[in-house]
Structure 1
Amino acid sequence: TFGFAMAEYVSRLGARIELVSKFSQELRGKIAGAVGAYNASSLFFEDPEDFEAEVLKELGLKPANYSNQIVEPEYLTDYIHSIISAFGVLANLADDIRHLQRTEIGEVGEAFEATQVGSSTMPHKRNPWNFEHIKSMWKEFMPRMITLYADQISEHQRDLTNSASGRFVPEIVVGFVAAVDRMTQVLKKLVVDQERMSKNFDTTKEMVIAEPIYILLASLNHPNAHEAVRLLTLESQKTGRTLRELLNDQAELAPYLSKLTLKQKEILNNPQKYIGHAEQKTEQVCNEWEKRLGL
């Protein structure tokens, strides 16, 4: 179901949100002097570490466990990694929705205002430009994570090779926040075409039952269930007859089919009901993350 497909992103983004929150709280600072040993501050304070903690508290930071001329880089590296990881999930969602808006699929898409221009040259087009923008932003910022990893290396307490690259780190955060805001706004107005979803499903629904047929036959000790069903699918594609029609014509399968329960027969006769626990799982995932994130 479409809801089950979206539950994937509820779960993935929920876990990323927790990770970003965790590492944002682990960012550290220092007021420990040029080499991190409190040389200068110890001239004025009996306990320079208390002074450091008091100053950093005003900035919403904790003191680093250790510092020299710089704070241990892993605090920032982990934080930006959590953001880039979340950005990747966001880009994946944008890409999925963008493909579902393709003309030949057309199941969901961005809301299109009456005055909105879809293409500069083709007036009829409705480009999924917001989703494309999010993926494009991810492509810009994701490779910058390599620079954060490179900046973990600092020769002899600091060699200044991160002084320029470090200045661009805030852009990653700003880019991510902008993408989150854009995704939030466009998803609020997402258009879902249930009729088109049903039509798309109807084009392949007869083949959907190939899996449950094979599994049920195997469970009833058919000696070669997978091959039997595979051959039937080939015949269906060749003759145009439905898989269910061909199934009922197979005398050698009749003894197995007669042992099916009413529920199992119902699924074979109504492929749209072959959704397992998709609905329950979707609700479970959404309820869990609503609770965990306090929504």
Structure 2
Amino acid sequence: MPAHTGLTAPMFGSPDVMEIFSGAGLIRRMLDVEGALARAEARCGVIPAAAAATIADVCAQPEDGGRQPVIDAEALAQGAIGVGNLAIPFVKQLTAAVAARDETAGRYVHWGATSQDILDTALVLQLVDALRIQDGRLTRLADDCAGLARRHRDTVMVARTWQQHALPTTFGLKAAGWLDALRRDLMRLQDTRGRVRVLQFGGAAGTLASLGPTAPDVAACLAGELALAPPALPWHTHRDRLVEVASTLGMLCGTLGKMARDISLMMQTEVAEVAEPAGAGRGGSSTMPHKRNPVGCAAVLAIATRVPALVSTMFSAMPQEHERALGGWQAEWDTLPDIVASTAGALRQMGEIIAGLEVDAARMRANLDLTGGLILGEAYMLALGQRLGRLPAHHLVECASRDAVAANVTLLDALRKRLAADPALAGLLDDADLEQLADPTRYTGQAARYVDAVLTEWQAARGAQDGAP
């Protein structure tokens, strides 16, 4: 089913993945399954080779000799209303097209299969194609985050907790956090891709009784024709593989949403530490010409808001009845394509953002200095705590912080004044110690080491990926 077919499709989708899940994309893969089934059954002696050749040839052609589509999509959609799924009117149309070429061959279309075999296996083929695109796009995004982390390993900035200034950190560490999460998402995606690449072929009730003793051979041949793994048994009402796709992509959307939240907050006028890539008309307002809105982040956040509910639907559809679901299977038809297409849209948007992200290191440093050194209160406290004990040192720095705010001076100056005014405190820290403690670049902790560790892990992951078959 088409995902994001309205006017907002270019904003929230990705053309390549949307095409895969379009009506034409689904029909194309249903034809692929039927053509492969005919070839497999001919190889196993189930149907005549001549009939299989005709069926496969019709399935391989999107249009007949008169340039009419083999499958009429509108008639297919209307025909599904009364029978409950697309496969039944699809097989009817395909049989008519094959019989028009060879009446005998028409008798063998869809031999031994059931509707769900065709729909589920076509869905798997769609997922194989779509997740391969997601994998490549996610890898490129992670590479770009690695570049940001490397370039800004030592670019000092404010760390914010509860959206307030906390302590110094580095932009490299923030980018490394994005990268590390994306690396885990990529690992999950690659594992999921392997587990979902499985044939669905069980016949009417999951026993393949229709094919008698040839059933195992036909299933193996069909899996080979479609480059899918043969399952141990048909999985008509066991949907964990598909739900895993949904949950894996749901987590990826959450990661992308976290990145979009960070970037959009850093784009606020009062902060202005980063900006989405500039472009003609990008980020504009209909009434305020000066605006440069985080439009890419808005799209990613919208997707990250929508997708969890869709993932929940996939989980809710898992308890399916016996050997064929009544409603649960049908609930998946639009839901999973929407999740995949939405994730592709979020990846596309975030890929464009990170590839062209504008970073203002000078503004980061200026924001760090906004509080006149209050952000380094912990550093002063710990240094004094070695001489006074933690609680007295905390009280001293807290009082000096109030002094600094009231007098509109730096924390360094206020602390100097307090230390000089009390003979009991004189000499605890000399000017050199105080000046060193006032340097935020000396209080980024393990930020640089963490960045290096994440980059090393990413390089190892990329090496393994590049060496994979």
TM-score, L = length of structure 2: 0.57
- The match for 1:253 is 425
Partners of 2:282 and 2:327 in 1: CA distance: 46
**Aligned-residue offset at 1:145:** 0.7
Partners of 2:251 and 2:283 in 1: CA distance: 33
Q: Are the aligned partners of 2:381 and 2:397 in contact in 1 as well (CA < 8 Å)? A: yes
Q: Are the aligned partners of 2:317 and 2:329 in contact in 1 as well (CA < 8 Å)? A: no
CA offsets 1:53-96 (integer angstroms, 9 cap, x no match): 3322333432334436x152111111210111011100110111
Change (3 A) 1:164 1:212: same
Change (3 A) 1:205 1:22: farther
CA offsets 1:151-171 (integer angstroms, 9 cap, x no match): 111122223212332111112
Q: Are the aligned partners of 2:381 and 2:390 in contact in 1 as well (CA < 8 Å)? A: no
- The match for 1:34 is 204
Matched residue type, 1:195 = A
- Counterpart selection for 1:244 from 409, 412, 421: 412
- Structure 1 residue 122 and structure 2 residue 288: aligned? yes
In our comparison, the structure showing a higher alpha carbon Rg is: 2
Change (3 A) 1:175 1:208: same
CA offsets 1:133-190 (integer angstroms, 9 cap, x no match): 1111222222101111111111222232123321111121122112212211222111
Q: Which range moves more in the overlay, 122-131 or 224-233?
A: 224-233
- The match for 2:397 is 229
Q: Are the aligned partners of 1:97 and 1:131 in contact in 2 as well (CA < 8 Å)? A: yes
Partners of 1:87 and 1:282 in 2: CA distance: 23
* SS at structure 1 position matched to 2:403: helix
Gaps of at least 5 residues in structure 2 are 1-169
Matched residue type, 1:226 = H
- Structure 1 residue 174 and structure 2 residue 341: aligned? yes
Structure 1 runs (4+) greater than 6 angstroms displaced: none
Q: Are the aligned partners of 1:111 and 1:190 in contact in 2 as well (CA < 8 Å)? A: yes
Matched residue type, 1:198 = R
- The match for 1:210 is 377
Change (3 A) 1:266 1:65: farther
- The match for 2:450 is 281
- Structure 1 residue 193 and structure 2 residue 360: aligned? yes
**Aligned-residue offset at 1:287:** 2.7
Partners of 1:256 and 1:66 in 2: CA distance: 76
Q: Which range moves more in the overlay, 111-120 or 1-10?
A: 111-120
TM-score, L = length of structure 1: 0.88
* SS at structure 2 position matched to 1:4: helix
- The match for 2:40 is none
Partners of 2:287 and 2:344 in 1: CA distance: 32
Q: Are the aligned partners of 1:12 and 1:89 in contact in 2 as well (CA < 8 Å)? A: yes
Q: Are the aligned partners of 2:282 and 2:295 in contact in 1 as well (CA < 8 Å)? A: no
Q: Which range moves more in the overlay, 72-81 or 267-276?
A: 267-276
Change (3 A) 1:151 1:63: farther
Matched residue type, 1:270 = D
Gaps of at least 5 residues in structure 1 are none
Matched residue type, 1:39 = A
Change (3 A) 1:108 1:223: closer
Q: Are the aligned partners of 1:14 and 1:293 in contact in 2 as well (CA < 8 Å)? A: no
Partners of 1:287 and 1:173 in 2: CA distance: 30
- The match for 1:107 is 273
**Aligned-residue offset at 1:123:** 1.1
Q: Which range moves more in the overlay, 177-186 or 242-251?
A: 242-251
Q: Which range moves more in the overlay, 266-275 or 81-90?
A: 266-275
Q: Which range moves more in the overlay, 56-65 or 241-250?
A: 56-65
* SS at structure 2 position matched to 1:92: helix
* SS at structure 2 position matched to 1:164: helix
Q: How many residues align?
A: 288
Change (3 A) 1:241 1:117: closer
Q: Are the aligned partners of 2:276 and 2:294 in contact in 1 as well (CA < 8 Å)? A: yes
**Aligned-residue offset at 1:114:** 4.5
Residue identity over aligned pairs, in percent, reads 26
Q: Are the aligned partners of 1:248 and 1:254 in contact in 2 as well (CA < 8 Å)? A: no
Partners of 2:183 and 2:390 in 1: CA distance: 45
Matched residue type, 1:227 = H
Change (3 A) 1:223 1:129: closer
Q: Are the aligned partners of 1:205 and 1:272 in contact in 2 as well (CA < 8 Å)? A: no
Change (3 A) 1:213 1:60: farther
Q: Are the aligned partners of 1:64 and 1:71 in contact in 2 as well (CA < 8 Å)? A: no
Partners of 1:221 and 1:106 in 2: CA distance: 40
* SS at structure 1 position matched to 2:195: coil
Query: Which aligned pairs between 1:42-61 and structure 2 lie closer than 5 A?
Result: 43-45=212-214, 48-61=215-228
- The match for 2:461 is 292
Change (3 A) 1:114 1:38: closer
